[in-house]
Amino acid sequence: MVIDLDKCVGCQACVVACKEENNVPHGSPEEQRSRREIYWHKMIAATKGKYPHVRTEIIPMPCMQCDHPPCVTVCPAKATFQRDDGIVAQYYRRCIGCKYCMVACPYGARSFNYKEQETRPYHHQDEPPDRESWAPWPFPTRTQGVVEKCTFCFHRIDQGLKEGKKIGVDVVPACVEACPSHARVFGDLDDPQSVVVQLLSSRASFRLREELATRPKVIYLSR
Amino acid sequence: MRGIAIVIEVLVLMGVLYCLFLAARLTILDVGFQSKYDRFVKWGLGIVGIMISAFFVAHLTLFYPKLLP
Amino acid sequence: MERSYSTIEGTSRGYKLLVALLGVMVGVFIVSFLVAYLKGQQVWGVSNIIPWGQLITFYIFFIGLSAGAIIISSLSYVFKKEIYEPIGRMAVFMGILLMVGAMSFVMVDLGRPEKAWRLFMYFYLNNMTSLFAINSIFYTGYITLMLVYLWLIFEGKKQLATLIGTIDVLWAVAVHMGTGAIFGLIGNREIYFSPIKPFEFLTAALTSGTSLIILTAVITFKLTRRVIQDEVIFSLGRLLTGIILVLLTMVFVDKLTHLYFPNREAAVYLFTGNYWWIFWIFQIGMGIVLPLILLIHPSTKKTIKGVVCAATSVVIGVFGERAALVIPGTAHPQPFFPGQIEGPWGEPGVFPITPWETLLSLSIVAFVGLLFVLGLRYLEILPARTAEPVPAGTGPTT
C-alpha cells in the first residue's frame, strides 16, 4: 500500500471505514479513556518544532504487513502467520491471547479483544441493530480473548481474485476506497506495471521505523 | 435450557477428568513410587482437578453456544 | 551425618487459623478468576498500550524466586555444604511450589487459557522461534526435574540427588535466562532490548530467591519452634551481599548502555517518566541500596533482624524490578515517527491498579502459601525438632 502524505488531509475516513467494514467497535468513552478501544487502523500526528514554526505530519497507520514481521516470530501458537501474498493474517482459532505480539509490534497495530461482541455488544452509537441488513462478510466478529489487527481486507481481495477482478483497480481495502482525496493506492509490489511501483519510483518515500528492518509494506510518499 | 446443558456437560467432563487422573495415579503407583506418596499424588491431582473443573464451569458458561430458541 | 526430618504437627490454633485463612483466599482466587473470565479482562488494569499487568509481573517474579530457591538448595545437595542441610528440602519444595504459582499466574493471564495446550505441541503446532514456546520446554522439564529431585531427596539417594541437582541447577539457570530473553530480545521496546537482560534476570532471581529462603527459614523455624543456626542466616546474608553487588553492576551497565548514545529517550523515560518511582524507590532503593546498607553496616549485619530486614527489602525491591520492566517498558510511547506524537498515541500509558487484579494476584500468592503450609504438614520437609541447635558437622561454632 502506498499512502501519499501530500494528499492526506487527516480526515480519518479511512479509520472509520475500516471499523465499518470489519465490525470493529468504536469504543465507549470509558474504553477510550482507559486505552482499550480497538483500532485496526489508527492515525497519528507527529509534530516537530515550537510554535509558531511547527510542522505536523499526519500519518495514517494500518498494520504495516511487514515482510519480516516480528509478531510472527514471537507468536507461540502460530496464530499469526504470513500468507503467500505477503499479508500477515491472524488465525483466531489458535490465538491463546498471550499478548506477546502486541508487545513485539513496533507500530502498535494490534489490539486485544476484551469481550465477546455478540453477547455483550460494544458501544455502537449509530449502527442499525439488525446485522443481517449489512453486507455478508465472513468474519463479522472475533471471539473474546484474542488479538486482532488490520487484515488489508483480505476478504475483499480473495473474493476479488476469485471473481477475476484486478487487485488495486477494482478491488481495494476499505480504507483505500474511503479516502476522499485518493491519497492511498493499493497494489502488488511485485508487479512492475502496478500503480504502486510506479508511484514509488516517482517520489521520495519512507517507511516507519526502518531501522528495525521489519520491511513494512505500507510506504509513505513524503510531502 | 442452556444452563441445564452446561451443568450436564460439566458433570460429564468432571467424570472424564476423574478417570484420567485415576489412570495417572494408578500408573504412578505401578511404576514404582512407594505408597507413602499416594496421599501426595491424590491431593495434587485433586487440587488440579478442582481448578480445572472450576475453569470448565467458567468457560462453558461463557462459550457454550446458544441452543434452539 | 544423618539428620531426621519430620512434619509439623498441625495441632496448634495458629496452624488451623492459617490454613483456614489461606483456604478462604483460594476461594477468592476462584471467584476473582471467574469474574475476570466472564466479564472480560477489562476489569484488570491492562489496556492495548500496557498489555501485561500485575499477573505477568508476578509470573516473572515467581519464576525468579523458584530458580533462586533451587540454586540455594544446590548449596546443600550439590556443593555439599552441610551447614545448609536444614533448609535444603524446604528450598527444593519452595522451588516446586513457586513454579506452580508462576504457571497459575500465566495461565490466568491468557485471554483463552483453554488453548494453552498449543504451547506444548512442540515443533508441530508451535512456533519454536517464540520464546514462550522455548520457555514451555524449559518449564516442563524444570518442573519434572524438581519433582524427581525432591523424590530422590526423600528417598535418601544422595548421589543421584547430587546428579539431578546439578542438572536442575543448570536447567534453572536456563529457565530464568529464557524468561529474561522474553524481554531482552524484543527490539522495538528500547527499555527491554538488551543482551544483558537474561543475566540481569538471573542475578535478580538469585537475590530474590536467597532472600525468600532467608525469610521463609527464619519465619518457618520460629513459628514451628525449631531452632536454626544463626550461621546459616549470616552466611546466606553474605552470599546475598555479593549477589546484590553483581546485580548492581548489571543494572548499571544495562542502563549506561541505554543512556550513552543519543537515542536515550527510553531510558530517560524510565528514570523520569510517570513510573520513575517504580525504578528508583523499588528497584534501586529497596532492591539494592537499602539491603546493601543493612548488610554492610557493622551494627546491622551481625543481627538476624538486620539480615531479615534486608531480605524483605530485596524481595519487595526485586518485585519492583520486575514491575519496572513490565509496566514502563510498554507504557513508553513507541516512536512511530520522529517528532512529538500528539494525542493519546504519544502519551505514556497508564496502568491503574484494579481491585480484581490485585485480589487475583494476592489470592494466587495465598494459594502457593497454602500449598507450602500443607506440604510442611504432610511431607517431611523441616528438620526434626531438637532441644539445642542442630550441629553442622565441622563448623567453627560449637
pLDDT tens, C164-223?
A: 999 999 999 999 999 999 999 998 898 999 999 999 999 999 999 999 999 999 999 888
Question: Which residues in chain C are closer than 8 Å to A73, comparing Cβ atoms?
Answer: 127, 129-130
ipTM: 0.86
Confidence of residue C284 (pLDDT cuts 50, 70, 90): very high
Among the listed ranges A162-176, B22-36, C249-263, C320-334, which one has the minimum average pLDDT value? B22-36
The tens digit of pLDDT for each residue in A144-198 reads 788 989 988 888 888 888 888 888 888 899 899 999 999 999 998 888 888 899 9
What integer pLDDT is reported at residue C170 of this predicted model? 93
Q: Which of A74, A116, A147, A210 to probe the C interface (max C CBs under 10 A)?
A: A74
To test the contact with chain C by mutation, choose from A28, A112, A142 the residue with the greatest count of C C-beta atoms within 10 A, namely: A112
Which of B55, B62, B66 is the best mutation test for A, with the most CBs of A within 10 A? B62
CA distance A96 to chain B (A): 14
| Per-residue model confidence (pLDDT) at position A193 | 87
pLDDT at A120 exceeding the cut of 50: no
Q: Is the pLDDT of residue C394 over 50?
A: no
Nearest neighbour of B39 by CB, restricted to C37, C113, C378: C378
* pLDDT for B69: 59
If interface means Cβ-Cβ distance under 8 Å, which residues of chain C face chain B?
30, 33-34, 37-38, 113-114, 151, 371, 374, 378-379
* Average pLDDT of chain C, as a whole number: 88
Range of the domain at C55: 5-238+358-383
Which of C345 and A20 is assigned the larger pLDDT?
A: C345
Residues recorded for chain B: 69
The alpha carbon of residue B15 is apart from the nearest alpha carbon of chain C, in Å, by 18
- State how far the Cα of C214 lies from the Cα of C207, in Å rounded to an integer: 11
Number of domains present in the structure of chain A: 1
pLDDT band of C397, cuts 50, 70, 90: very low
Q: Higher pLDDT residue, C174 or C396?
A: C174
More confident residue, B54 or A25: B54
Looking up residue C212, the CATH number of its domain turns out to be: 1.20.1630
So what's the pLDDT on residue B68?
66
Q: How far off is chain B from A123, nearest CA to CA, in Å?
A: 20
In a domain, C251, yes or no: no
C305: exposed, middle or buried (C-beta count within 10 Å: 0-12, 13-18, 19+)? exposed
Please indicate, yes or no, if residue C73 is contained in any of the structural domains: yes
Q: Which of residues 148-207 of A touch C (CB under 8 A)?
A: none
Q: What range defines the domain where residue B49 resides?
A: 2-63
For residue A132, the model assigns a pLDDT of: 44
- pTM score, whole prediction: 0.90
pLDDT digits (tens, 9 = 90+) for C76-93: 888 888 888 888 889 999
Interval C108-116 mean pLDDT: 86
Percent of chain C predicted with pLDDT > 90: 53
User: Is B57 part of a structural domain of the chain?
Assistant: yes
Q: What is the spatial order of strands in the sheet that C340-341 belongs to?
A: A55-61, A42-48, C340-341
| C215, part of any domain | yes
Average pLDDT over residues A197-213: 91
pLDDT(B18) > 60: yes
Confidence of residue C395 (pLDDT cuts 50, 70, 90): very low
Q: Verify whether the Cβ–Cβ distance C119 to A112 is below 8 Å.
A: no
A143 CB near a chain B CB, below 8 Å?
yes
Q: What is the pLDDT of residue B47?
A: 85
Instruction: Tell me which residue range forms the domain holding A41.
Output: 2-221
pLDDT at C291 over 60: yes
Is C315 inside any structural domain?
Answer: no
CATH of residue A28: 3.30.70.20
- Rounded to whole angstroms, how far apart are CA atoms B30 and C397? 47
Whether residue A124 has pLDDT greater than 70: no
Range with lowest mean pLDDT among A127-141, A199-213, C367-381: A127-141
Q: Does C211 touch chain A (CB under 8 A)?
A: no
Across the range C33-51, mean pLDDT stands at: 87
- The answer to whether the bond into A52 is cis (omega within 30° of 0) is yes
Q: Provide the 10 A C-beta neighbour count for residue B40.
A: 16
User: Per-residue pLDDT for C116 more than 70?
Assistant: yes
Short-list A191, A199, A203, A171, CA closest to A86? A191
Which of C319, C282, C314, C328 lies closest to C55, judged by CA? C319
Is a pLDDT exceeding 60 seen at residue C387?
no
Question: b/e string for C375-386 if b means 16 or more Cβ within 10 A?
Answer: bbeebbbbbeee
pLDDT higher than 60, residue B49: yes
Write down the pLDDT at residue A123.
44
Place of cell 505408597: B35
Residue written as grid cell 500503480: A195
CB–CB contact C114 B39 (8 Å): no
d(CA C146, CA C143): 5
Number of domains observed in the structure of chain C: 1
**What is the pLDDT, as a whole number, of residue A116?**
55
Residues in B closer than 8 angstroms to A144, CB to CB, are: 62
Report A:95-124 residues touching C (Cβ under 8 A): 95-100, 102-108, 110-116, 120
Minimal Cα–Cα distance from B68 to chain C, Å? 22
Which of B52-66, C62-76, C376-390 has the largest mean confidence? C62-76
Q: Sort A20 into a burial class: Cβ within 10 Å, 0-12 / 13-18 / 19+.
A: middle
